[in-house]
Amino acid sequence: LSIVLACLAGLGLGACSVVAWHVLVRRRALGVRQRAARIAFPFTASGLSEPALAAALRIARSEHATLVPVYLAMVPLRLSLECAMPSEADMALPLLETIEQRALRAGVPVDSRIERGRSIRHALAQLTEHERYQRLVIAAAPDAAGDGFTPEDVAWLMSHSEAEVLALRPAAAQNHVGPRPDRPRVAMPA
C-alpha cells in the first residue's frame, strides 16, 4: 500500500510540476509577445530632445514595448558609407548610454542602434530598411535652429514610413539631453 501511495504521490507531484511548467512557459511567451513591440526613437547629435525622449519612454512603458534609440550618423560624401566613424561613435555612445540608463530606470527594455547615411533622410531610410518597429517617435524642431527634425524631414518620414509616426514638438527652453557637440561632456554618465 505504501508503495502505491508513494507512486500516486509521485504521479501527483509530476502532474503538478508539468502544469506549473506550462504556466511558466505561457507567461514567458506572453511576456515575449508583449515585449515584441518596438518603438524607434531616431535622433542626431544636435537634436536629442528631452521631452521627446520622456514621451517615447512613457509610450514604451505603457505598451510594454522595447525602445529602439537610433543615433543617426552623417557620413560625408568623400568617405565610404561603410567606413568606421570613431568621432561619430564618440558622440553617439554616451548619448545611447544616457538613454539606456533613463530607460532602465523607467523599466523599459532598450535595443540601441547607430544608422549611417549621407543625410538625415538617407539615414532614416536606412533605418526603415534595416529595423523592425511598430511606431516611430521623433522630435520636431520648434524652429530651424532648434533640436529635432525639420518640418521637411518630418513630412518626408510621414510619407515614407509604413509604421505609425509620432512627431512631438518639444518645449524650446528645456529640450536637450546630454551635451551638444560643442559643449563639454560634463553631464554624461561614466
Residue in the block written with cell 525639420: 150
Closest separation between CB of residue 41 and another protein, Å? 14
Asked whether the beta carbons of 157 and 124 are under 8 A apart, the reply is yes
CB closer to another protein, 130 vs 160: 130
CB closer to another protein, 113 vs 176: 113
How far apart CA 149 and CA 162 sit, in angstroms, is 18
- According to DSSP, the β-strands at 164-168 and 38-43 are unpaired
Residues 6+ apart with CB under 8 A from 80: none
Closest separation between CB of residue 164 and another protein, Å? 20
Residues 6+ apart with CB under 8 A from 189: 94, 97, 98, 101
Closest separation between CB of residue 113 and another protein, Å? 6
CB closer to another protein, 54 vs 165: 54
Is residue 135 a contact residue for another protein (CB under 8 A)? no
User: Order of strands across the sheet with 66-74?
Assistant: 113-117, 66-74, 38-43, 135-139, 164-168
Residue in the block written with cell 565610404: 80
Site string for another protein, 86-125 (x = CB under 8 A): x-xxx-xx--xx--xxx-xxxx-xxxxxxxx---------
CB closer to another protein, 76 vs 184: 76
Distance of CA 95 to the CA centre of its chain: 12
Judged by DSSP in three states, 10 sits in helix
Site for another protein in 54-93 (CB under 8 A): 66, 73, 78, 80-82, 84-86, 88-90, 92-93
Q: In the complex, which residues of this chain contact another protein (CB under 8 A)?
A: 66, 73, 78, 80-82, 84-86, 88-90, 92-93, 96-97, 100-102, 104-107, 109-116, 130-132
